[in-house]
A and B are shown apart, each in its own frame.
Chain A
Amino acid sequence: SAVISQKPSRDICQRGTSLTIQCQVDSQVTMMFWYRQQPGQSLTLIATANQGSEATYESGFVIDKFPISRPNLTFSTLTVSNMSPEDSSIYLCSVASGPSTGGYTFGSGTRLTVV
């Protein structure tokens, strides 16, 4: 199955600034998924990123706040813009693992704290 390198692993940011999170996959994948996990909560899908097209955002998430880039089939970035303390969460990227398991592989997560 795919291996994902996600960075940074954690960051503490000032409110009003932006942070870009990167995910590098060791194989080509069509779709990459970005999730948010608020403290003590489950995962919520932010958007699905396809190479060569605009990302598809879930209800409650907008491109101006969470712009996503997908320049090629192995890489994607998620930017958290104009941050507020409410954006403090773990952000994770994910790709399908392949037909052998049918499951999904996740990056190790970015723990973001906004102060």
Chain B
Amino acid sequence: SQQGEEDPQALSIQEGENATMNCSYKTSINNLQWYRQNSGRGLVHLILIRSNEREKHSGRLRVTLDTSKKSSSLLITASRAADTASYFCATVGGTASKLTFGTGTRLQVTL
């Protein structure tokens, strides 16, 4: 079963604009991760934020985590056409090592 919801389900922006995706989850977590999937292929790990962290940066990516609201956001700045993909949040919780995925956001970046 899915851990939570992502919104928006789909997002279309122009190159150079920023893209923000939100993720909500249901249970307590050890960490939350974001992945990108191009054209239904394998997933690529983007960034991980631990439950005791509030914000993390990696290149053009900025992730925030609010454990009190059980939510996270992914910001992609200065988007490029190559950022067109589906983005998934995934949580790891308890003693299990497995990932539980959100519903995903389809991002379309146009020239």
Is B104 touching A45 in the complex (CB atoms < 8 A)? no
Q: In the complex the two chains form, what is the Cα distance from A113 to B16 in whole Å? A: 37
User: Which residues of B are at the interface with A, using a C-beta cutoff of 8 A?
Assistant: 1-2, 31, 33, 35, 40-45, 48, 88, 90, 97-104
Q: In the complex the two chains form, what is the Cα distance from A101 to B31 in whole Å? A: 12
Q: In the complex the two chains form, what is the Cα distance from A7 to B59 in whole Å? A: 32
With A42-B2, A104-B99 in contact, do A90 and B48 touch (Cβ < 8 Å)? no
Q: How many residues of A contact B (CB 8 A)?
A: 27
Q: In the complex the two chains form, what is the Cα distance from A97 to B97 in whole Å? A: 12
Chain B: minimal CB distance from A28 (Å): 16
User: Which residues 96-110 of A have a CB within 8 angstroms of B?
Assistant: 96-97, 101-109
A44, A96, A101, A106: the one within 8 Å of B43 (CB): A106
Known A42-B103, A45-B100, A102-B33; further 11 A-B contacts with Cβ < 8 A: A31-B97, A33-B99, A41-B103, A42-B101, A42-B102, A43-B99, A92-B42, A97-B45, A101-B45, A103-B33, A108-B41
Chain B: minimal CB distance from A68 (Å): 14
Q: Which of B1, B2, B98 has the most CB of A within 10 A?
A: B98
Chain A 78-115, CB within 8 Å of chain B: the 1/0 string? 00000000000010101011000111111111010000
Is B97 touching A96 in the complex (CB atoms < 8 A)? yes
